[in-house]
Amino acid sequence: MTDLSTFPITAKWPAQHPDRLQLYSLPTPNGVKVSIALEELGLPYEAHKVSFQTNDQTTPEFLSLNPNNKIPAILDPQGPGGQPLALFESGAILIYLADKTGKLLPADPAQRYQAIQWLMWQMGGLGPMFGQLGFFHKFAGKDYEDKRPRDRYVAESKRLLGVLNQHLAGRTWMMGDDYTVADIAIFPWVRNLVGFYEAGDLVGFADFPEVARVLGAFVARPAVVRGLAVPA
């Protein structure tokens, strides 16, 4: 059995099953990317809740795994060469899990990089823009009298939804018939935008029927339903 006790994070979140992949997360759009992927892949894992209410993400134990103090992060006891691997950044983790299992990324090199490009599109555009819109629409930013910051992110979110809507026309998933890490990265954020952020009317979500169609198919997947609830 792998000994994970040398990793300081296990002092705060002890591994009850040290032979399983350890996930440190919350059910946020970035967090559920990894839990959904793990459920889709059927990999055994143990989930640990990193509570923002108690600033768990800034504790020395968590920072020892992710110095950027963001969730999610993982500790895989069976990493490359059979050695434990600690990893943070949701996009990097998704690619790692896909490579580890040979699933959720196309085998064809050209299609593989096309899937990764959409993953990076979410990481660099869709997620940050939707997150800023949520701040200015639902959280502290909503009290700002000057609505120009909010309107900037609304406009950019609409533009990104338009890009996504056009790409999905005639496709089942981002890569056509193949469900990949690109879908797992993108659609938790779309779900959050129209659900938790309650910004569907603000961005005119009804104008993006292809996005709505694929979002519906995404949230209906059993592995997605399970992954969205992790960690409890």
Predicted structure pTM score = 0.97
| Alpha helical stretches, state H, 42-197 | 60-63, 90-101, 109-121, 127-137, 148-168, 181-194
Q: What is the pLDDT of residue 3?
A: 84
Q: How far is CA 35 from the centre of its chain?
A: 8
Contact 185, 94 (CB under 8 A): yes
pLDDT digits (tens, 9 = 90+) for 189-209: 999 999 999 999 999 999 999
Query: 3-class DSSP state for residue 72?
Result: coil
Residue 114 pLDDT greater than 70, yes or no: yes
Flag whether pLDDT at 221 surpasses 70.
yes
CA distance linking residue 144 with residue 137, whole number of Å: 10
pLDDT tens-digit series, residues 155-189: 999 999 999 999 999 999 999 999 999 999 999 99
Over residues 116-144, the mean pLDDT reads 97
pLDDT of residue 66: 98
pLDDT per residue as tens digits for the range 159-168: 999 999 999 9
Residue 149, helix vs strand vs coil: helix
CA pair distance 131, 153, nearest whole angstrom: 9
Q: Tell me the three-class secondary structure of 17-71, residue by residue.
A: CCCCEEEEECCCHHHHHHHHHHHHHCCCEEEEECCCCCCHHHCHHHHCCCCCCCC
How far is the CA of 70 from the CAs of 53, 55, 66, 115, 168, in angstroms? 14, 11, 7, 24, 30
Tally the C-alpha atoms within 13 A of residue 218's C-alpha that lie toward its C-beta.
Answer: 29
